[in-house]
Amino acid sequence: MLILGVESSCDETGLALYDTALGLLSHALHSQVEMHAEYGGVVPELASRDHIRRVLPLTEHVLKEANKTLQDIDAIAYTQGPGLSGALLVGTSFAESLAFSLQIPTICVHHLEGHLLAPLLEENPPTFPFVALLVSGGHSQLMRVDGIGQYTLLGDTLDDAAGEAFDKTAKLLGLGYPGGPALSKLAQTGKPRFKLPRPLLNSGDLNFSFSGLKTAVLTLVNTHPNLDEQTKADIAWEFQEAVTEVLTTKCMAALRETGLDNLIVSGGVGANSKLREKLNAATKRKHCTVSYPRLEFCTDNGAMIAFAGAMRLKAMQKIEDSDYSFSVKPRWDLGELKAP
Ligand code: KG4
Ligand code: ZN
Protein backbone atom coordinates (compact mmCIF):
# COMPACT_ATOMS: atom_id res chain seq x y z
CA MET A 1 0.00 0.00 0.00
CA LEU A 2 1.16 3.51 -0.75
CA ILE A 3 0.76 6.05 2.06
CA LEU A 4 1.06 9.81 1.67
CA GLY A 5 2.29 11.43 4.91
CA VAL A 6 1.52 15.05 5.79
CA GLU A 7 3.22 16.97 8.62
CA SER A 8 2.30 20.59 9.45
CA SER A 9 2.22 20.79 13.25
CA CYS A 10 4.72 23.61 13.71
CA ASP A 11 7.16 25.36 11.39
CA GLU A 12 7.95 22.62 8.89
CA THR A 13 5.79 21.41 6.03
CA GLY A 14 6.73 17.78 5.38
CA LEU A 15 5.37 15.40 2.74
CA ALA A 16 6.41 11.83 2.02
CA LEU A 17 5.37 8.65 0.22
CA TYR A 18 5.88 5.36 2.04
CA ASP A 19 5.24 2.01 0.39
CA THR A 20 4.51 -0.81 2.87
CA ALA A 21 6.42 -3.26 0.66
CA LEU A 22 9.22 -1.07 -0.69
CA GLY A 23 9.82 1.43 2.13
CA LEU A 24 10.25 5.17 1.84
CA LEU A 25 9.93 6.26 -1.81
CA SER A 26 10.26 10.04 -1.50
CA HIS A 27 10.08 12.88 0.98
CA ALA A 28 10.24 16.67 0.84
CA LEU A 29 10.39 19.39 3.45
CA HIS A 30 10.04 23.12 3.61
CA SER A 31 11.42 24.67 6.79
CA GLN A 32 10.08 28.08 7.85
CA VAL A 33 13.09 28.72 10.08
CA GLU A 34 14.30 31.73 8.10
CA MET A 35 10.84 33.31 8.10
CA HIS A 36 10.47 33.05 11.90
CA ALA A 37 14.12 33.86 12.70
CA GLU A 38 13.58 37.62 12.63
CA TYR A 39 10.91 37.26 15.36
CA GLY A 40 13.10 35.01 17.53
CA GLY A 41 10.53 32.19 17.51
CA VAL A 42 7.58 30.70 15.64
CA VAL A 43 4.75 33.14 14.78
CA PRO A 44 1.72 30.82 14.59
CA GLU A 45 -0.29 32.84 12.05
CA LEU A 46 2.67 33.12 9.68
CA ALA A 47 3.28 29.39 10.08
CA SER A 48 -0.29 28.49 9.03
CA ARG A 49 -0.19 30.77 5.99
CA ASP A 50 3.12 29.34 4.85
CA HIS A 51 1.89 25.73 5.19
CA ILE A 52 -0.95 26.66 2.80
CA ARG A 53 1.57 27.92 0.26
CA ARG A 54 3.79 24.83 0.49
CA VAL A 55 1.56 21.81 0.87
CA LEU A 56 0.44 21.40 -2.77
CA PRO A 57 3.82 21.97 -4.47
CA LEU A 58 5.48 19.58 -1.99
CA THR A 59 2.82 16.92 -2.69
CA GLU A 60 3.45 17.27 -6.43
CA HIS A 61 7.17 17.05 -5.74
CA VAL A 62 7.03 13.77 -3.79
CA LEU A 63 4.69 12.21 -6.36
CA LYS A 64 6.99 13.19 -9.22
CA GLU A 65 10.10 11.97 -7.42
CA ALA A 66 8.50 8.58 -6.77
CA ASN A 67 7.06 8.46 -10.29
CA LYS A 68 3.53 8.11 -8.91
CA THR A 69 0.19 9.84 -9.48
CA LEU A 70 -2.53 10.82 -7.01
CA GLN A 71 -4.48 7.74 -8.08
CA ASP A 72 -1.67 5.48 -6.82
CA ILE A 73 -2.12 6.65 -3.20
CA ASP A 74 -3.98 4.11 -1.00
CA ALA A 75 -4.27 6.15 2.21
CA ILE A 76 -3.27 9.51 3.67
CA ALA A 77 -1.66 9.80 7.11
CA TYR A 78 -1.47 13.23 8.69
CA THR A 79 -0.46 14.85 11.97
CA GLN A 80 -3.65 15.57 13.91
CA GLY A 81 -1.77 16.89 16.96
CA PRO A 82 -0.23 18.01 19.20
CA GLY A 83 0.96 21.32 17.77
CA LEU A 84 -0.22 24.77 16.70
CA SER A 85 -3.93 24.61 15.93
CA GLY A 86 -3.83 26.79 12.79
CA ALA A 87 -0.83 24.94 11.41
CA LEU A 88 -2.42 21.55 12.15
CA LEU A 89 -5.64 22.65 10.44
CA VAL A 90 -3.81 23.20 7.16
CA GLY A 91 -2.41 19.67 6.94
CA THR A 92 -5.60 18.13 8.34
CA SER A 93 -8.03 19.86 5.98
CA PHE A 94 -5.73 19.25 3.02
CA ALA A 95 -5.38 15.53 3.85
CA GLU A 96 -9.07 14.94 4.50
CA SER A 97 -10.23 16.77 1.39
CA LEU A 98 -7.69 15.05 -0.86
CA ALA A 99 -8.70 11.68 0.64
CA PHE A 100 -12.38 12.55 0.06
CA SER A 101 -11.72 13.39 -3.58
CA LEU A 102 -9.81 10.11 -4.03
CA GLN A 103 -12.24 8.13 -1.79
CA ILE A 104 -9.40 6.61 0.22
CA PRO A 105 -8.96 6.23 4.00
CA THR A 106 -7.17 8.66 6.29
CA ILE A 107 -5.07 7.88 9.36
CA CYS A 108 -4.69 10.47 12.13
CA VAL A 109 -1.15 10.38 13.51
CA HIS A 110 0.13 11.64 16.85
CA HIS A 111 3.18 13.80 16.12
CA LEU A 112 5.19 12.21 18.94
CA GLU A 113 4.38 8.71 17.73
CA GLY A 114 5.90 9.83 14.44
CA HIS A 115 9.09 10.91 16.24
CA LEU A 116 9.12 7.71 18.33
CA LEU A 117 8.96 5.42 15.33
CA ALA A 118 11.35 7.43 13.11
CA PRO A 119 14.43 5.29 14.02
CA LEU A 120 12.56 2.28 12.59
CA LEU A 121 12.83 3.86 9.12
CA GLU A 122 16.56 3.08 9.11
CA GLU A 123 18.36 -0.11 8.10
CA ASN A 124 18.49 -2.88 10.74
CA PRO A 125 15.70 -1.29 12.80
CA PRO A 126 15.44 -2.13 16.50
CA THR A 127 12.64 -4.51 17.46
CA PHE A 128 10.05 -4.04 20.21
CA PRO A 129 10.29 -3.74 23.17
CA PHE A 130 12.71 -0.86 23.66
CA VAL A 131 13.26 2.25 25.75
CA ALA A 132 12.73 5.52 23.89
CA LEU A 133 14.17 8.91 24.74
CA LEU A 134 12.04 11.57 23.08
CA VAL A 135 13.77 14.93 23.21
CA SER A 136 12.22 17.71 21.16
CA GLY A 137 11.36 21.39 21.52
CA GLY A 138 8.30 20.56 23.58
CA HIS A 139 9.09 17.18 25.17
CA SER A 140 11.71 15.33 27.20
CA GLN A 141 10.32 11.92 27.94
CA LEU A 142 11.53 8.41 28.58
CA MET A 143 9.16 5.70 27.51
CA ARG A 144 8.89 1.97 27.42
CA VAL A 145 7.66 0.96 23.95
CA ASP A 146 6.15 -2.51 23.61
CA GLY A 147 4.56 -2.03 20.19
CA ILE A 148 2.61 0.46 18.09
CA GLY A 149 0.44 2.45 20.49
CA GLN A 150 1.84 0.64 23.53
CA TYR A 151 3.72 3.37 25.32
CA THR A 152 4.40 3.54 29.06
CA LEU A 153 5.75 6.80 30.38
CA LEU A 154 8.81 6.22 32.58
CA GLY A 155 9.94 9.80 33.11
CA ASP A 156 9.09 13.32 32.01
CA THR A 157 10.36 16.85 32.40
CA LEU A 158 9.03 18.76 35.37
CA ASP A 159 9.51 22.08 33.56
CA ASP A 160 11.37 22.99 30.34
CA ALA A 161 11.96 20.41 27.62
CA ALA A 162 15.57 19.74 26.59
CA GLY A 163 15.13 21.49 23.22
CA GLU A 164 13.42 24.42 24.92
CA ALA A 165 16.40 24.71 27.31
CA PHE A 166 18.77 24.74 24.33
CA ASP A 167 16.66 27.42 22.64
CA LYS A 168 16.36 29.64 25.73
CA THR A 169 20.05 29.32 26.61
CA ALA A 170 20.99 30.13 23.02
CA LYS A 171 18.87 33.27 23.29
CA LEU A 172 20.71 34.29 26.49
CA LEU A 173 23.97 33.91 24.58
CA GLY A 174 22.66 36.06 21.73
CA LEU A 175 22.45 33.19 19.24
CA GLY A 176 19.74 32.89 16.61
CA TYR A 177 16.64 30.76 16.42
CA PRO A 178 16.40 27.79 16.58
CA GLY A 179 19.00 27.73 19.30
CA GLY A 180 19.88 24.03 19.54
CA PRO A 181 21.99 23.70 16.39
CA ALA A 182 23.59 27.15 16.90
CA LEU A 183 24.50 26.44 20.52
CA SER A 184 25.95 23.03 19.77
CA LYS A 185 28.05 24.54 16.95
CA LEU A 186 29.39 27.21 19.30
CA ALA A 187 30.15 24.57 21.96
CA GLN A 188 32.65 22.98 19.55
CA THR A 189 35.03 25.86 20.20
CA GLY A 190 34.33 25.91 23.96
CA LYS A 191 36.49 24.54 26.76
CA PRO A 192 35.82 23.22 30.27
CA ARG A 193 35.93 26.38 32.39
CA PHE A 194 32.57 26.85 34.14
CA LYS A 195 30.55 24.47 36.28
CA LEU A 196 26.79 24.24 35.86
CA PRO A 197 24.42 22.02 37.89
CA ARG A 198 23.25 18.56 36.69
CA PRO A 199 19.56 18.86 37.67
CA LEU A 200 17.92 15.72 39.13
CA LEU A 201 20.98 13.62 38.18
CA ASN A 202 20.69 11.55 41.37
CA SER A 203 16.98 12.01 42.03
CA GLY A 204 16.36 8.27 41.98
CA ASP A 205 13.62 8.62 39.37
CA LEU A 206 13.60 9.14 35.60
CA ASN A 207 12.33 12.72 35.57
CA PHE A 208 14.15 15.75 34.18
CA SER A 209 14.26 19.43 35.03
CA PHE A 210 16.08 21.93 32.83
CA SER A 211 14.76 25.35 33.79
CA GLY A 212 17.24 25.81 36.67
CA LEU A 213 20.07 25.23 34.23
CA LYS A 214 18.88 28.13 32.12
CA THR A 215 18.74 30.32 35.24
CA ALA A 216 22.30 29.26 36.13
CA VAL A 217 23.40 30.31 32.63
CA LEU A 218 21.65 33.67 33.13
CA THR A 219 23.66 34.17 36.34
CA LEU A 220 26.88 33.38 34.46
CA VAL A 221 25.95 35.79 31.68
CA ASN A 222 25.16 38.54 34.21
CA THR A 223 28.49 38.07 35.98
CA HIS A 224 30.35 38.43 32.65
CA PRO A 225 28.93 41.71 31.28
CA ASN A 226 31.39 41.84 28.40
CA LEU A 227 30.65 38.42 26.99
CA ASP A 228 33.45 37.70 24.55
CA GLU A 229 33.16 34.90 22.00
CA GLN A 230 35.36 32.48 23.95
CA THR A 231 33.35 32.96 27.16
CA LYS A 232 30.12 32.34 25.23
CA ALA A 233 31.62 29.20 23.71
CA ASP A 234 32.79 28.00 27.15
CA ILE A 235 29.29 28.50 28.60
CA ALA A 236 27.78 26.69 25.60
CA TRP A 237 30.25 23.81 26.11
CA GLU A 238 29.34 23.38 29.77
CA PHE A 239 25.60 23.74 29.15
CA GLN A 240 25.68 21.04 26.49
CA GLU A 241 27.80 18.87 28.77
CA ALA A 242 25.27 19.24 31.62
CA VAL A 243 22.19 18.45 29.49
CA THR A 244 23.75 15.49 27.69
CA GLU A 245 25.17 14.03 30.91
CA VAL A 246 21.75 14.10 32.57
CA LEU A 247 20.01 12.65 29.51
CA THR A 248 22.59 9.86 29.18
CA THR A 249 22.50 8.94 32.88
CA LYS A 250 18.70 8.73 32.88
CA CYS A 251 18.63 6.64 29.67
CA MET A 252 20.99 4.12 31.24
CA ALA A 253 18.88 4.07 34.42
CA ALA A 254 15.75 3.44 32.30
CA LEU A 255 17.44 0.49 30.58
CA ARG A 256 18.49 -0.88 33.96
CA GLU A 257 15.04 -0.45 35.51
CA THR A 258 13.14 -2.02 32.62
CA GLY A 259 15.68 -4.77 32.04
CA LEU A 260 15.65 -3.91 28.32
CA ASP A 261 18.80 -3.58 26.24
CA ASN A 262 17.68 -1.49 23.25
CA LEU A 263 17.43 2.28 23.35
CA ILE A 264 16.11 4.55 20.64
CA VAL A 265 16.48 8.32 20.58
CA SER A 266 14.29 10.70 18.63
CA GLY A 267 13.23 14.34 18.35
CA GLY A 268 15.26 17.41 17.43
CA VAL A 269 17.78 17.14 20.30
CA GLY A 270 18.53 13.60 19.09
CA ALA A 271 20.54 15.29 16.34
CA ASN A 272 23.01 16.60 18.94
CA SER A 273 26.40 15.01 18.30
CA LYS A 274 27.60 15.27 21.92
CA LEU A 275 24.48 13.42 23.08
CA ARG A 276 25.07 10.72 20.46
CA GLU A 277 28.72 10.43 21.48
CA LYS A 278 27.83 9.97 25.16
CA LEU A 279 24.98 7.53 24.49
CA ASN A 280 27.07 5.46 22.08
CA ALA A 281 29.82 5.08 24.69
CA ALA A 282 27.48 4.39 27.64
CA THR A 283 25.36 1.79 25.80
CA LYS A 284 28.47 0.07 24.45
CA ARG A 285 29.86 -0.25 27.98
CA LYS A 286 26.65 -1.98 29.10
CA HIS A 287 26.37 -4.17 25.96
CA CYS A 288 23.17 -2.39 24.93
CA THR A 289 22.27 -0.97 21.52
CA VAL A 290 21.18 2.56 20.63
CA SER A 291 19.43 3.65 17.40
CA TYR A 292 18.73 7.08 16.00
CA PRO A 293 16.89 8.40 12.97
CA ARG A 294 19.12 9.86 10.26
CA LEU A 295 19.84 13.50 11.13
CA GLU A 296 17.19 15.00 8.85
CA PHE A 297 14.49 12.79 10.43
CA CYS A 298 15.32 13.87 14.00
CA THR A 299 13.49 17.15 13.46
CA ASP A 300 9.95 17.37 12.04
CA ASN A 301 9.37 15.68 8.69
CA GLY A 302 6.69 13.96 6.61
CA ALA A 303 8.48 10.60 6.38
CA MET A 304 7.93 9.75 10.06
CA ILE A 305 4.21 10.56 9.71
CA ALA A 306 3.81 8.42 6.57
CA PHE A 307 5.68 5.63 8.34
CA ALA A 308 3.66 5.83 11.59
CA GLY A 309 0.47 5.83 9.47
CA ALA A 310 1.68 2.79 7.53
CA MET A 311 2.52 0.93 10.77
CA ARG A 312 -0.95 1.65 12.15
CA LEU A 313 -2.61 0.64 8.89
CA LYS A 314 -0.66 -2.64 8.81
CA ALA A 315 -1.66 -3.44 12.38
CA MET A 316 -5.37 -2.70 11.88
CA GLN A 317 -7.76 -5.65 11.70
CA LYS A 318 -10.11 -3.65 9.53
CA ILE A 319 -9.69 -0.25 7.89
CA GLU A 320 -12.38 2.06 9.23
CA ASP A 321 -14.45 3.97 6.66
CA SER A 322 -13.62 7.69 6.84
CA ASP A 323 -16.43 10.22 6.91
CA TYR A 324 -13.84 12.90 6.03
CA SER A 325 -14.92 15.19 8.85
CA PHE A 326 -11.96 16.50 10.79
CA SER A 327 -10.71 18.13 13.96
CA VAL A 328 -7.26 18.90 15.28
CA LYS A 329 -5.79 18.07 18.69
CA PRO A 330 -3.39 20.87 19.65
CA ARG A 331 -3.02 19.20 23.07
CA TRP A 332 -2.89 15.44 22.96
CA ASP A 333 -1.26 13.19 25.51
CA LEU A 334 0.65 10.27 23.98
CA GLY A 335 -0.68 8.10 26.81
CA GLU A 336 -4.19 8.42 25.32
CA LEU A 337 -3.12 6.51 22.21
CA LYS A 338 -4.38 2.98 21.82
CA ALA A 339 -2.86 0.08 19.94
CA PRO A 340 -4.52 -0.18 16.49
O1 KG4 B 1 11.50 17.59 17.12
P2 KG4 B 1 11.63 19.01 16.73
O3 KG4 B 1 11.99 19.34 15.33
O4 KG4 B 1 10.33 19.81 17.01
C5 KG4 B 1 9.44 19.58 18.02
O6 KG4 B 1 8.55 18.71 17.83
O7 KG4 B 1 9.64 20.24 19.07
O8 KG4 B 1 12.71 19.63 17.75
C9 KG4 B 1 13.13 20.95 17.69
C10 KG4 B 1 14.06 21.20 18.86
C11 KG4 B 1 14.45 22.67 19.01
O12 KG4 B 1 14.33 23.01 20.36
C13 KG4 B 1 15.91 22.69 18.55
O14 KG4 B 1 16.66 23.72 19.15
C15 KG4 B 1 16.39 21.33 18.97
O16 KG4 B 1 15.29 20.46 18.70
N17 KG4 B 1 17.58 20.88 18.21
C18 KG4 B 1 18.78 20.64 18.79
C19 KG4 B 1 19.66 20.28 17.72
N20 KG4 B 1 18.95 20.29 16.56
C21 KG4 B 1 17.67 20.66 16.88
N22 KG4 B 1 19.19 20.72 20.06
C23 KG4 B 1 20.47 20.42 20.33
N24 KG4 B 1 21.38 20.09 19.38
C25 KG4 B 1 21.02 19.99 18.08
N26 KG4 B 1 21.92 19.63 17.16
ZN1 ZN C 1 8.51 17.41 16.43
321: confidence class by pLDDT, cuts 50, 70, 90: confident
How many Cβ atoms from other residues are within 10 Å of residue 35's Cβ? Answer: 16
Residue whose CB lies within 8 A of the most ligand 1 atoms, among 136, 244, 300, for a mutation test: 136
Beta-carbon contacts of 311 under 8 Å, excluding residues fewer than 6 positions away, are: 117, 120, 148
Domains and CATH numbers, the chain: 2-117+298-336 (3.30.420.40), 127-292 (3.30.420.40)
Atom of ligand 1 nearest to the CA of 167: 14
Q: What is the pLDDT of residue 339?
A: 87
pLDDT at 322: 84
The set of residues, in sequence order, having a beta carbon less than 8 Å from that of 104 and lying 6+ positions away, is 73, 74, 75, 76
Mean pLDDT in the chain? 96
The pLDDT tens digits of the residues spanning 187-231 come to: 999 999 999 999 999 999 999 999 999 999 999 999 998 899 999
Q: Which of 239, 269, 305 to mutate to test the pocket of ligand 1 (most atoms within 8 A of CB)?
A: 269
- What's the pLDDT band for 3 if we cut at 50, 70, 90? very high
Tell which residue, 105, 90, 199, 197, has the closest CA to residue 155.
199
- pLDDT bin (cut points 50, 70, 90) of residue 123 is very high
Q: Which tens digits make up the pLDDT trace of 220-239?
A: 999 998 899 999 999 999 99
How large is the average pLDDT for residues 89-103? Answer: 98
Lining ligand 1 with CB less than 6 A are 136-138, 163, 166-167, 178-181, 184, 267-269, 271-272, 299-300
Predicted pLDDT at 317: 76
Residue 58 clears pLDDT 80, i.e. is over it: yes
Is pLDDT larger for residue 81 or for residue 335? 81
